[in-house]
Structure 1
Amino acid sequence: MQKDALKKAAGRKEELAGHIRAFELCAERSEADIASPKDDLKDKCAPIRCFFLMKKSFWLFQAWKSEKLLADLGNNALSKKPALSPSFAEALSRAKHQLVAEAGGLECWNSLLPFKRTKLELTIEFSMVWTLGQDAYLGLSEAEKHEAEFLGASYGADCEPTPAKAHALNKSSQGAVKAISLASRIFNNKDTYCWYMENRGLVASQFPDMSNVRFQSHTEAAEVVLMDHQAILEFLEFVQDKKGHRKLNLIEVSLYKALHCLKTIMEAVTIVIYDSIVLHPYLKMVWGPGTESLNVLDLGLLHEEPKQHLKLIYTNPKLIFGANVPPETPCFGGQPWYTPAAMTAAFKLGFKLEHLSPITLALF
């Protein structure tokens, strides 16, 4: 056990040395540009992507940065306060004489290998500079301490997301969008789901493959959730009954609760309605059959038409929610519903949702 622990510790130190060397190479490369600022290495690696490191490796890196910080503060104190230099040189000289005495005298000291003598002298000097750095650190404000010690994680080009990105992440981490994402994670990884749905005689036995790079994958998944709403709930109950401990896991429980939440269902209904009225008809005009030879420069007038249609729907909500309104009336371009079964399910569930109309119009 002790040998394994020593091996792991040595491995982490080697890993730390490798990371430091990589940062040094990056720093040398960036400083080759005349216009680039000559920042210290410890400052350049402040936004280190620490999720790639083990915790103990990260702690080693943090300790290394703290030592470098105190050394820099000590050296800055010597350079900015000339009055310290004579006293520091005198103290350093006394410390070196102490080293010679501890080695057994001048003769024994000179018998040491040159690199050993140099190493001992540098260790003493670093210790004294480090002590000066500690005194300088105590004189910093809290904001200066935080900036100097900062060591965080970066998940992309920037450490902090833009306001637009933060807003999008916040909206997509809750409500119908989150519930649909959970459904995709569950059903696309369960062969039992396909078997169960096929035995129920449902057409949409395969749940849509959702991806951030696939257009309309969320709306397609929302359509399936509405069309097979009751069947999905029964499937989750079926899964629970088949488990030995008769308990759903956290993701399954979250989806089950979301599909019982009227607010979440209302968001899903809104997504499907907006998709059927605006998105699908519009994309069909741009990418659908017969557009293979269409020049993008010819789409200028087409891009203006949805704006007028959105205004028309916003001022006349009865075009969507009125009684006996044909699908061609609210749909952009006078087209029929892309998925009639999904719209039927949406309006069927919509009768239970008293705020569906204003929430839907908010998208317009």
Structure 2
Amino acid sequence: MLDGGFEAWNALSPAEQTERDVKMMDNIVTVLGREPYNALNPSDHQRIDLFVWGGCCMHKDLNSFKGGNNEMMLEWKKLGVTGPILLANKDNTALLQNLLDPAWPQDAVLTDDQLRAFEASTRGGVKTAALAGAIFNNKDDKKGQADRHVDFMTHALGLGAPHRRFPDTNNTRFGSHGDAAAELITYLPQYRQMMEVIQWSKQNPSLTNIEKNLRDTLNNVPTLTELAAMAIYKMVITHPYLRRVRGPGTESTNHLELGPLHHSVRDHIQKIMDNPDLLFGSDVRYQTATLDGLEWADSKAMKAVFELLPALPHVKAITLAFFRGALTTWIRFSAEFAPGGLIDTCTATEKQLAWMPSTNDDNEGALGAY
């Protein structure tokens, strides 16, 4: 009750009056509803109180990939070896020209401007995938080399039909960076050749800064190592996982029934970390390497990865770091399926009553094929 009666009420602003009205109605509803609610039996209480939260499976995989990449990038320093080359933008390249020269002393002192440029620059497999997407499949049709990419790859590979467009990393499409890594590794000689074609087809033979960065990464062993790790994770975990949550026939899948799947993802990653020979041994088989035991989603990509492994001395450590970071993220982003948690203790009937799709596609828009 408001002290002061109508005069005090009329002295309140419209917003304050509305706030008090809402609070009063909430109290009335609570009081009127308490008695019939208390009269219900326990099973009805549980059904009415049931409120289940579940996270989109596409985002779970996306975040696991991000977690894997973060750990992978940190691993180079732990190994005490030089990581991927720095990929500076056009402005920062001018500031860091000396730093980018391998002959420049490593103990040289950076100026404040150089330090800011260095900290703003990125590197690695994910950045390389993004650069390639910006060049070969730019979201702006007037930029990049999208048509030339399709024509060149079709001719270089001797295909009877046009080669597929480059994975859509420029629009941050789900899974596109892993797909881009697989594409670049699979056709590495052709992409190296294409960068030369781009350079020498210009009236004044040269490469733009972004084109030069991509050319350099395709000839940089640490960057190729990260691309290989990304492709391996994509084939071993991501593709099999997405087949279960978004593949054909999963339209009626209830997210609340996917606890065993998420436990198996974590168990399989741990199994690979405990026994790296599943991926790097002398007899690697998809039956034991992939999450679901089914054939590689892209056998050409895995063949190219395995052929490249001897040239990548740190690929095992870098790949395991990726899996380690992904595992940590999977544990965090699948917490709703924890043993003894709400979903785990729901009955089959309750899970059906609280049915939810495995992905958030309806709210996200078209995500594209997995």
- What is the TM-score with the length of structure 2 in the denominator? 0.51
Do the aligned residues in 2 keep the contact of 1:276 with 1:338 (CA within 8 Å)? yes
Q: Does 1:224 align with 2:213?
A: no
- Superposition map of 1:1-364 within 5 A: 173-188=122-137, 189-190=144-145, 191-200=147-156, 201=158, 204-211=163-170, 213-364=172-323
Do the aligned residues in 2 keep the contact of 1:210 with 1:221 (CA within 8 Å)? yes
Aligned residue for 1:332, secondary structure, equals coil
C-alpha distance in 1, partners of 2:151/2:171? 27
The 4+ residue runs of structure 1 with deviation greater than 3 A are 31-34, 167-173, 202-205
C-alpha distance in 1, partners of 2:120/2:303? 26
Aligned residue for 2:165, secondary structure, equals coil
Quote the sequence identity (%).
37
C-alpha distance in 1, partners of 2:285/2:120? 33
Structure 1 residues 363, 204: closer, same or farther in 2, change over 3 A? same
Do the aligned residues in 2 keep the contact of 1:328 with 1:337 (CA within 8 Å)? no
Report the structure, 1 or 2, having the larger helix content. Answer: 1
C-alpha distance in 2, partners of 1:173/1:289? 37
Q: How many residues align?
A: 203
Unaligned runs of 5+ in 1: 1-30, 35-163
Unaligned runs of 5+ in 2: 1-12, 17-66, 74-118, 138-143, 324-370
Q: Report the CA distance between 1:271 and its aligned residue.
A: 0.1
What is the CA deviation profile of residues 294-331 of structure 1, one whole-angstrom value per residue up to 9, with x for unaligned ones? Answer: 11111122111111111111000001111122211110
Q: Report the CA distance between 1:32 and its aligned residue.
A: 9.6
**Larger-Rg structure:** 1
In structure 2, what residue type is equivalent to 1:282?
A: Y
In structure 1, what residue type is equivalent to 2:314?
A: H
- Corresponding residue of 1:142: none
Q: Report the CA distance between 1:348 and its aligned residue.
A: 1.2
Do the aligned residues in 2 keep the contact of 1:207 with 1:221 (CA within 8 Å)? yes
What is the CA deviation profile of residues 25-80 of structure 1, one whole-angstrom value per residue up to 9, with x for unaligned ones? Answer: xxxxxx9978xxxxxxxxxxxxxxxxxxxxxxxxxxxxxxxxxxxxxxxxxxxxxx
What is the CA deviation profile of residues 160-210 of structure 1, one whole-angstrom value per residue up to 9, with x for unaligned ones? Answer: xxxx9xx79989932111111111111123222211111112574421222
C-alpha distance in 2, partners of 1:340/1:218? 18
- The two structures, once aligned, show a CA RMSD in angstroms of 2.7
Q: Report the CA distance between 1:212 and its aligned residue.
A: 5.4
Aligned residue for 1:333, secondary structure, equals coil
- Corresponding residue of 1:81: none
C-alpha distance in 1, partners of 2:215/2:194? 10
Do the aligned residues in 2 keep the contact of 1:194 with 1:205 (CA within 8 Å)? yes
